[in-house]
Structure 1
Amino acid sequence: MAATEAATPTALTPSATTRRNATLRGLVQTSWWKVILVFGALIGLWYGAAKHYADKGLGYLVPYPHDVFHAMFIDSETRHDLLVSLWRSTEVALTGLAIAIVIGVVWAVLMAQARWVEQSLYPYAVVLQCIPILALVPMIGALAGYEFKSRVIVTVMISLFPMVSNTLFGLQATDQGQRELFQLRGASAWTRLQKLQIPAALPNIFVGLRTAAGLSVIGSIVGDQFFQRGNGGLGVLIQVDVSRLLGPETYAAILTASLLGVVVFLLFGLLGKLAIGRWYSFR
């Protein structure tokens, strides 16, 4: 009898897997219908604005969404130009991001070793963040030329600070009790950094990585706007389309650049979940 009574609740109660799957389905359904609703509202506003400017004879300023869709996916010539420019901008963005990651992590690790090192180096990171890139364009062009290398330098300058600041914050936010435990065990600074500080700083490092990834795409577009020699990317394509008053093509290039930024951002978010998702809540 006791066994029957004990078994009855188990038979009637849904398993943990079933409850978890139901919760995930509810979250996905709730999120998607809200996203679709907002997307539909934005498309409606876009059509309204496009009609307003079309009635004024300025349709190239705000083209209809279906014209932009046609330029992105149907028009073979425009699609080819977008794909070629997208590849060039991606190459610049990923190259600059890789350099920014290495410099940013090394810079932050050095500052985390001692307070006087941080006080000596951190102000330069802030200055780098505040420098107007446009003011440095002539000097960058004169020193590095006006092609791929200059675009990468601009990308590094724009995306570096989030890596430095987030990595430094993560390294310094290590639990004080754990630090003291490592000291009591006679661990060296390298062991403490490798076994304690870097693992504890991973969530902040990946937050900085996602931010820097998005900024690297902006940097590649900005570099194109400034340095228009060599193989131009999406920034050059946007300028050419604007100068020719090609509204749908211009918006198609802008949307492609935005989608590139979103994809890179989501990619590094996924890498963060795969790397630290078991131990930390990472969005």
Structure 2
Amino acid sequence: MTDDVTGTTSIAVRRTRSTNGGAKFGVWAPPILVAIVVIAVWYLISSMLGKKNFLLPPPHEVVAKGFLNPETASDIVTALGRSALVALVGLAIAIVIGVVWAIAMSQAKWIERSLFPYAVILQTIPILALVPLIGFWFGFEFFSRVVVCVMIALFPMVSNTLFGLQSVALSQRELFKLQHASRWTILTKLDLPTALPAIFAGMRISAGLAVVGAIVGDFFFRRGTPGIGALLNNYTSRLQGAELLAAIIAASLFGVAIFAVFGLLGKLAVGRWYDFGQK
């Protein structure tokens, strides 16, 4: 009897490992296949350009000139580090302002009607037209770059947090009121925990936008310590296509890394009771 139980258990373990392996393959296989297709099309277009392939250098040339060249790689890493600092500071400020703004609007309809239109206006302002004014008001160095990041990354935090706070079931809210819970207790024990998945979703969106904001700020603010945006501008003016693509790829990978970090934090924070990021 014991041997039968042991054999059944070992078969179940093997099936579980096989299922987990198949699931992991199913997760990674599609993006890998898409990457192969993209690289193949990239090579095809580059070969079709012929002598004009400096407009789109082949992938191996981008790797050789951009990542394997010590001087270029050092420039990209240094510039990316400066932009990363701007993006992370701007993102942190956007998260704090966005959450506080959304909490204020969730407390009363008249506050939401008063403040939400300005969040929408902030999202629809052509930021490229406003950047010169930001430079006139705040200077052309680190602080102005952070302001641009905050303006670009703020709206997803406001809208997602507000959506999460307003997604609380009416029955749960009524139950808290029956227990004579204070407004602070309802906010901290019910509203915010319910809104956590939406808050982390907003963080992931804002993280990518903060990187964009850092690059946009670099394009316009030439003073202070230049970041990846200034480096992109230099490569563009020199027609260094391989180095330009390498810098773009590095900035994109940094944005993906921040996105993944907040996805992981979301799973750690709410994964015990919410299937975060799963379908």
- Fold shared by both chains (TM-score > 0.5): yes
Structure-to-structure mapping, 1:1-283, within 5 angstroms: 4=1, 8=4, 11-12=7-8, 18-53=14-49, 55=50, 57-283=51-277
* 3-state SS of 2:262 partner: helix
Pick closer, same or farther for the CA change 1:117–1:17 going to 2, 3 Å.
farther
Query: Alpha-carbon deviation of 1:147?
Result: 1.1
Q: Cα RMSD (Å) of the superposition?
A: 1.6
Kindly provide the amino acid, as one letter, of the partner of residue 38 in structure 1: V
Q: d(CA) in 2 for partners of 1:7 and 1:124?
A: 70
What do residues 48-98 of structure 1 show as CA deviations (whole Å, max 9, x unaligned)? 111122x2x322210111111012321111011001001001001000000
List alignment gaps of at least 5 residues for structure 1: none
* 3-state SS of 1:245 partner: coil
Pick closer, same or farther for the CA change 1:130–1:16 going to 2, 3 Å.
farther
TM-score by length of 1: 0.93
Q: d(CA) in 2 for partners of 1:129 and 1:15?
A: 55
Q: d(CA) in 1 for partners of 2:12 and 2:204?
A: 33
Q: d(CA) in 2 for partners of 1:20 and 1:119?
A: 52
Q: How many residues align?
A: 277
Q: d(CA) in 1 for partners of 2:27 and 2:250?
A: 24
Deviates more, 1:189-198 or 1:32-41: 32-41
Kindly provide the amino acid, as one letter, of the partner of residue 30 in structure 1: G
Pick closer, same or farther for the CA change 1:80–1:42 going to 2, 3 Å.
same
Pick closer, same or farther for the CA change 1:20–1:114 going to 2, 3 Å.
farther
Query: Alpha-carbon deviation of 1:141?
Result: 0.5
Pick closer, same or farther for the CA change 1:122–1:30 going to 2, 3 Å.
same
What do residues 122-172 of structure 1 show as CA deviations (whole Å, max 9, x unaligned)? 000000000001221221011111111111111001000000000001001
Q: d(CA) in 1 for partners of 2:29 and 2:121?
A: 44
List alignment gaps of at least 5 residues for structure 2: none
Query: Alpha-carbon deviation of 1:8?
Result: 4.5
Pick closer, same or farther for the CA change 1:222–1:278 going to 2, 3 Å.
same
